[in-house]
Chain A
Amino acid sequence: MNDQTLFSIFFSALVVNNFTLALFLGLCPFMGVSARVETALRMGFANIFVLVLTSLAAWFLNTYILETAPYLRIISFIIVIASLVQIVEMAIKKLSPALFRQLGIFLPLITTNCAILGLAIFQTNRGYGFLQGLTFAIGAGLGLTLALVLMASIRESVEFSDVPGIAKGTGLVLIIAGTLSMAFMGFAGLL
């Protein structure tokens, strides 16, 4: 059992060890859907939702099922995440077609987002309890959203500036990400 306070877990996941900018998790959506602030925000919320569910599922698996068979951890986590995303997708489609249309392709893509599996594994390795895991998931999800929205707003303004031809595309995005990551290093003294 880990005895970190909820507050420090939350802030560590939110800014100091930001999933995207410090741990490099969830880079695919970070590069792929960060062109517009609105889509970035929506992607962020979908991520928070799935992260929280995953954290609950991982805690349940760890406490009740995997104790006798730790070598099945990776396999069972990935299966649970894949089916969880599928169920969430079906539920949203049935309950709120409008939201489903808004999220579109982003929902199924969350399965292969390494932030989700990463969260489950970090939570296990650090031995978080139920509430700690939940706090960790919410902090990490908000951190992902923060990084996505920051990136998207920078990219929206960069779009109208005159960058050299070779820098157009991923190269420029990576350098902006590097600068953002440097800025986030300033939070390191916070905890």
Chain B
Amino acid sequence: MRTTTASQDFIRGIWKENPVLIQMLGLCPALAVTNSVANALAMSAATFFVICCSSILISTCKRFIPHEVRISAYILVIATFVTLADMLLQAYAPAQHKELGAFIALIVVNCMILGRQEAFSSKNTVLRSLLDAVGTGIGFTIALVMMGGFRELLGTGSFLGYSMFGPNFEPWVIMVLPAGGFLTLGFILLAMGYIEQRKKTKQSEEPVAEVSS
């Protein structure tokens, strides 16, 4: 059986196995809707709602789902909650709903959500599955808001609509265009690779640190 504790289930998705930055899942929404922080937040909220609800439902019903058709059953459950999220957003945040457009419906094919159901909720208790879903949802939110922050700050010189650099700032228009999404995530990954490499060399050079520096 599993050897992880409840807190590990929760923490894991936030950083160590961050769905976007480490596992490269759910890239489509992460790149497509992060041209402003507000859009990133709306998308994260919708995804968070869907992943938590489907984790609860699937871990509750796991006994009744035949093994052969489990993937179709998961997709059906996820699609139901996505429809709900779509309607809720349309009712309470019509401006964001218009901005995000088809990408709300595309939460259905976000492999991160299906991945958590298959890998975790179908084997664990309700509480553990919820913790796992909340952790993964927070990890997704962190990644999206980070990307949205960079892109909005450099692309329009503002954060959440408030101007940050004053009127003399010349915005980097490329950052809010599609190309900027690829470049932002690319540079974030390069920075993470650099930090990882530094950590490794530091560890291996620890005993002779004074000589090497």
Q: Which residues of A contact B (CB under 8 A)?
A: 21-28, 31, 71-75, 78-79, 82, 112-114, 116-118, 121-122, 125, 165-167, 169-175, 177-179, 181-182, 185
Residues in A neighbouring B180, C-beta threshold 8 A: 178
Do residues B193 and A182 form an inter-chain contact, with CB atoms below 8 A? no
With the chains together, A179 CA to B177 CA distance in Å? 12
Residues in A neighbouring B32, C-beta threshold 8 A: 23-25
Identify the 5 closest CB pairs spanning chains A and B, nearest first.
A174-B186, A178-B182, A166-B193, A171-B189, A178-B183
Do residues B108 and A167 form an inter-chain contact, with CB atoms below 8 A? no
With the chains together, A157 CA to B82 CA distance in Å? 41
Interface residues of B in 74-130 (CB under 8 A from A): 75-76, 79-80, 82-83, 86-87, 101-102, 105-106, 108-111, 114
Do residues A170 and B75 form an inter-chain contact, with CB atoms below 8 A? no
Which residue of A165, A170, A173 has the most chain B CB atoms within 10 A of its CB atom? A170
Interface size on B, residues (CB 8 A): 40
Q: Which residues of B contact A (CB under 8 A)?
A: 24, 27-28, 31-32, 72, 75-76, 79-80, 82-83, 86-87, 101-102, 105-106, 108-111, 114, 174, 177-183, 185-187, 189-190, 193-194, 196-197
Do residues B79 and A24 form an inter-chain contact, with CB atoms below 8 A? no
Do residues A181 and B79 form an inter-chain contact, with CB atoms below 8 A? no
Which residue of A21, A181, A185 has the most chain B CB atoms within 10 A of its CB atom? A181
With the chains together, A167 CA to B87 CA distance in Å? 42
Residues in B neighbouring A178, C-beta threshold 8 A: 179-183, 186
Q: Knowing that A79-B72, A178-B186 are A-B contacts, what are 13 other residue pairs whose CB atoms are under 8 Å apart, sorted by A's residue number?
A: A24-B32, A24-B181, A31-B27, A79-B79, A82-B72, A112-B114, A170-B24, A171-B193, A172-B186, A174-B186, A175-B190, A182-B174, A185-B179
